[in-house]
C-alpha cells in the first residue's frame, strides 16, 4: 500500500511539472481566486446588515440610536473580552454600517442594495477571468502532453509497435490525456478557490460565533477518513477502466478496418456478441467507479446536515433564551455555513478526481518512458552518398529476449548498382532483413556496413533520406494524390510530381479522377484500387530518387493490367540503383545480380538464378517449381 501511495504521488507531481510553462496563468488563477473568494464572502456577509436595516429600524428609533451607535455599544463589551476575532468583527461591522447608515431608511436600503449588486458583479467578473485562465491552462496542458506523447511515439522503433495495439495507443493519447485534465482542474480550481472560500467563510463564522463554528466542524474527521479509503479503490478501478476503453478502441479499429472480411464470413452476429461483451464489461466498471465516486458527497452532506441541525438548535437557544446572539447574526451565520457546504462537498470529490487522473497519467507516462532504442550517436556521420557496397556481417536479430531469433548469422554483400533478390517461404525473415537497412530495427548481433561504416554510426535522418521503400501493402494517407506522392519532400514542383506519376504509369488514371492530382483519396487510399494505390506508392519512391531501393513484393498486390503497367516503372526505378527485392515475379529473380535464399532466418543458398536452378535438391529449385514457374507464361 505504501509503495502504491508513493507511486501515485510520484505520478501526480510529474503531472504538475507539465504546468511550469503556464506559471503566469496559474498566478492569475490564484489572484482571481482570492478576489472571487473575498467578494463571495462579502456578498454573504451583507445579508446581516440587510436584515438589520429591514427588521430592526423601529427598535433603534425608539431607543434613538443609529445602527452605528447601537453596534458600537454592543461590540465594545465583546471587543474587550473576545480577542482578535471580535476586534475583526467590530472593525468590519463599524466600517460597513458607517457606509450604510443614512438618515433616510430608503437611502440606507438603496446603499446596501447597490453594495450587493457591486459585490456580486465583481464576484462574477473575477470568477469569469479565473475560468478563462484555467481553461487556457487545461487545454494548453492537454495540447503539450499529446504533442510530447505523439512525438515520442514517432521516435520509437517498429519493435515497440509489434507489441502494442494501435487502438490502445490511440486511447491513451485521446481518452487518457483527457482524463488527466480532470485532475488538473481539481488541483488548481478546487484546491485554490474552494479552500479559500472555506477559510473566508470560517473566519466570518468565527467572528459571529466561535461556539457555533466549532459545532459545524464536527463533520471534517469523518469525511476525511471516508475520502481517503475511497481514493485508493478509485485509483485501481480507474486504471482498469482506461485499459478497457483501450480494448474497446482497438476492437472498433480492427473490425471497422476489416469490415469486408467480417461480412464475407458472415461474422456480424459473432462480432456483435464480442462487442456487446466488451461494452458490458465497460458498463460494469463504470457503475463500480460511479458507486465509489458518488458515495463521498452524500456521506459528507449527511454529516454536514447533522452539524447544521445542531447549529440551529444551539443557535436558536442563544437567540431565544440567552440573548447572546442577535437573530440577524444567527441568520447570517446560517447563510455562511450553508455556503461552506458546496466547497466542502467539492473538496470531498477532489481526491477521487485526482486518483482517476493519476491512473490515466500512469498509462500515458508508460509511453513517454519507453526508451528510444533507435537514435543517433553523439558523433553521428551524415550519409552524403553511396559509393561502394552494403555488407551484412554475421547479423542476427530477435524482437526481445523471450522470443526466438528471427534472423541468425546473416552474411552477404551487395555492390553499388546490383539487384539482390530475397527469396524464401513466408515467415522466413525476408521483410525483417530489409527493415534493418533503414534502421527500423537495430541488429541484435553483428553489423550492417555501408561503404565500410556501420549504419548505426550514420545520422538516422540522412540515412533514411537515401533509401526508398515500396511495400506490398502501400501506405497512403487521407490527403491529395499530389501530397501523397511528394510526402516527405519539401518544395517539390508540380511538374516533378507529374513526371514521377508518368514514370509509375499513374498519370492517366489520376487525370480521370474528379479533382485530378488534388483528389482526396480517403483513409489508407481506399478510394483507389489496389493497383492504383501501388502506383502512387511507386511514384513517391521515384520522386524521392534514392540510391538504395527496397521493394517488398511491390507487385504482388496488383491485378494483371496494373502489373503490366507497373512492371516497366519498377524496372526503370531499379536502374543505376542498389536494389533489394523481395521477389514475386520470375523476371525480377532472373535479372537479379544475386539471389539470396532464406529459410527460418538463415541464408541457405546464394548465387544467381542460373546457378541456383541447377541444384535440384536446393530450396530455390523447390520454390521455383512451386511458385515462379507459374509466372513464366507472363514473362
Percentage above 70 pLDDT, the chain: 70
Task: Express each pLDDT in 448-484 by its tens digit.
Answer: 999 999 999 999 989 988 988 888 777 888 888 888 8
Tell me what pLDDT residue 264 has: 60
Question: For the ranges 260-264, 311-315, 506-510, 520-524, which has the lowest average pLDDT?
Answer: 260-264
Q: How confident is the model at residue 436 (pLDDT cuts 50, 70, 90)?
A: very high
587-627 tens-digit pLDDT? 678 888 899 999 989 999 999 988 988 988 888 888 888 76
Residues 296 and 226: beta-carbon distance below 8 Å: yes
**Which among 114-118, 242-246, 573-577 has the top mean pLDDT?**
114-118
**Distance between CA atoms of 339 and 85, rounded to whole angstroms?**
20
- Percent share of the chain, pLDDT over 90: 11
Burial of 575 (0-12, 13-18, 19+ CB in 10 A): exposed
pLDDT score recorded for residue 257: 64
Determine how β-strand 548-552 pairs with β-strand 445-450: unpaired
Q: Which range in 82-91, 219-228, 303-312, 391-400 is most confidently predicted, on average pLDDT?
A: 391-400
Where is 242: in which H helix or E strand? helix 219-257
Check pLDDT > 60 for residue 25.
Answer: yes
Domain 21-66+101-368, CATH class in plain words: mainly alpha
- Enumerate the CATH 1.20.1560.10 domain ranges in the chain, comma separated: 21-66+101-368
Strand-pairing partners, residue 324, are: none
CATH of segment(s) 375-466+580-635: 3.40.50.300
Q: At what angle do helices 47-55 and 23-45 cross, to 10 degrees?
A: 20
Q: What is the pLDDT of residue 78?
A: 45
Tell me what the mean pLDDT of segment 293-312 comes to.
68
What is d(CA 197, CA 337) in angstroms, rounded to the nearest whole number? 11
C-beta of residue 170 within 8 angstroms of C-beta of residue 240: no
Phi, psi of 390, rounded to the nearest 5 degrees = -110, 130
Q: Please give the order of strands across the beta sheet that includes 548-552.
A: 467-470, 548-552, 578-582, 419-423, 594-599, 602-607
Model pLDDT, residue 362: 84
Query: Cell numbers of 396, please?
Result: 542476427
pLDDT of residue 303: 67
Q: Is the per-residue pLDDT at 191 higher than 80? A: no
Pairing between strand 419-423 and 594-599?
parallel
Range with lowest mean pLDDT among 246-260, 276-290, 474-488, 553-567: 553-567
Residue 60 confidence (pLDDT): 45
pLDDT(634) > 60: no
CA dihedral (486, 492, 494, 499) in degrees, to 10, reads: -70
Please report which confidence band the pLDDT of residue 227 belongs to, taking 50, 70 and 90 as the band edges: low
What is the spatial distance between Cα 316 and Cα 215, in angstroms, rounded to a whole number?
14
Q: Where in the chain is the domain with CATH 3.40.50.300?
A: 375-466+580-635
**What local confidence, expressed as pLDDT, does residue 162 receive?**
76
Amino acid at each position: 500500500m505504501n509503495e502504491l501511495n508513493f507511486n501515485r504521488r510520484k505520478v501526480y507531481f510529474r503531472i504538475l511539472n507539465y504546468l511550469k510553462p503556464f506559471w503566469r496563468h496559474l498566478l492569475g488563477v490564484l489572484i482571481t481566486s482570492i478576489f472571487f473568494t473575498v467578494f463571495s464572502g462579502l456578498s454573504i456577509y451583507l445579508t446581516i446588515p440587510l436584515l438589520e436595516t429591514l427588521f430592526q429600524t423601529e427598535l433603534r428609533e425608539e431607543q434613538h440610536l443609529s445602527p452605528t451607535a447601537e453596534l458600537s455599544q454592543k461590540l465594545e463589551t465583546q471587543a474587550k473580552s473576545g480577542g482578535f476575532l471580535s476586534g475583526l468583527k467590530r472593525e468590519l461591522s463599524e466600517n460597513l454600517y458607517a457606509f450604510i447608515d443614512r438618515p433616510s431608511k430608503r437611502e440606507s436600503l438603496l446603499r446596501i442594495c447597490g453594495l450587493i449588486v457591486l459585490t456580486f458583479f465583481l464576484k462574477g467578473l473575477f470568477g469569469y477571468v479565473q475560468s478563462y485562465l484555467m481553461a487556457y491552462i487545461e487545454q494548453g496542458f492537454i495540447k503539450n502532453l499529446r504533442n510530447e506523447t505523439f512525438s515520442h511515439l514517432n521516435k520509437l522503433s517498429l519493435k515497440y509497435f509489434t507489441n502494442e495495439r494501435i487502438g490502445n495507443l490511440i486511447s491513451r493519447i485521446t481518452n487518457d490525456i483527457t482524463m488527466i485534465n480532470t485532475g488538473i482542474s481539481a488541483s488548481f480550481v478546487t484546491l485554490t478557490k474552494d479552500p479559500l472560500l472555506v477559510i473566508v467563510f470560517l473566519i466570518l463564522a468565527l467572528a459571529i460565533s466561535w461556539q457555533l463554528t466549532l459545532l459545524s466542524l464536527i463533520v471534517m474527521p469523518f469525511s476525511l477518513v471516508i475520502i481517503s479509503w475511497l481514493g485508493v479503490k478509485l485509483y485501481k478501478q480507474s486504471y482498469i477502466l482506461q485499459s478497457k476503453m483501450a480494448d474497446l478502441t482497438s476492437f472498433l479499429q480492427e473490425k471497422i478496418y476489416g469490415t469486408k472480411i467480417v461480412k464475407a464470413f458472415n461474422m456480424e452476429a459473432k462480432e456483435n456478441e464480442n462487442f456487446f461483451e466488451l461494452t458490458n464489461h465497460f458498463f460494469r466498471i463504470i457503475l463500480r467507479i460511479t458507486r465509489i465516486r458518488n458515495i463521498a458527497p452524500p456521506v459528507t452532506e449527511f454529516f454536514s446536515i447533522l452539524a447544521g441541525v445542531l447549529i440551529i438548535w444551539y443557535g436558536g437557544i442563544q437567540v431565544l433564551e440567552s440573548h447572546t446572539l442577535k437573530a440577524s447574526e444567527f441568520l447570517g451565520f446560517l447563510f455562511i455555513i450553508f455556503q461552506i457546504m458546496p466547497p466542502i462537498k467539492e473538496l470531498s470529490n477532489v481526491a477521487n478526481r485526482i486518483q482517476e487522473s493519476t491512473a490515466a497519467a500512469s498509462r500515458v507516462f508508460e509511453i513517454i518512458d519507453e526508451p528510444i532504442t533507435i537514435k543517433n550517436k553523439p558523433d553521428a556521420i551524415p550519409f552524403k552518398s553511396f559509393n561502394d557496397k552494403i555488407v551484412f556481417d554475421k547479423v542476427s536479430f530477435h524482437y526481445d529476449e523471450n522470443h526466438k531469433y528471427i534472423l541468425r548469422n546473416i552474411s552477404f554483400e551487395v555492390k553499388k548498382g546490383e539487384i539482390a533478390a530475397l527469396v524464401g517461404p513466408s515467415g522466413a525473415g525476408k521483410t525483417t532483413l530489409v527493415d534493418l537497412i533503414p534502421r527500423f530495427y537495430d541488429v541484435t548481433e553483428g553489423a550492417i556496413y555501408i561503404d565500410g561504416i556501420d549504419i548505426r554510426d550514420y545520422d538516422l535522418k540522412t540515412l533514411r533520406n537515401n533509401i526508398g521503400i515500396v511495400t506490398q501493402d502501400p501506405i497512403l494517407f487521407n490527403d491529395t494524390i499530389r501530397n501523397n506522392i511528394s510526402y516527405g519532400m519539401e518544395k517539390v514542383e508540380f511538374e516533378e510530381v507529374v513526371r514521377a506519376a508518368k514514370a509509375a504509369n499513374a498519370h492517366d488514371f489520376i487525370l480521370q479522377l474528379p479533382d485530378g492530382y488534388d483528389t482526396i483519396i480517403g483513409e489508407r487510399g481506399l478510394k483507389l484500387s489496389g493497383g492504383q494505390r501501388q502506383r502512387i506508392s511507386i511514384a513517391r519512391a521515384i520522386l524521392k530518387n534514392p540510391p538504395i531501393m527496397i521493394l517488398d513484393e511491390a507487385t504482388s498486390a496488383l491485378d494483371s493490367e496494373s502489373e503490366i503497367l507497373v512492371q516497366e516503372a519498377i524496372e526503370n526505378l531499379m536502374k543505376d540503383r542498389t536494389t533489394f527485392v523481395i521477389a514475386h515475379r520470375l523476371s525480377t529473380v532472373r535479372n537479379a545480380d544475386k539471389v539470396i535464399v532464406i529459410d527460418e532466418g538463415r541464408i541457405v543458398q546464394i548465387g544467381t538464378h542460373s546457378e541456383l536452378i541447377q541444384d535440384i535438391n536446393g530450396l530455390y529449385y523447390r520454390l521455383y517449381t512451386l511458385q515462379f514457374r507459374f509466372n513464366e507464361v507472363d514473362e
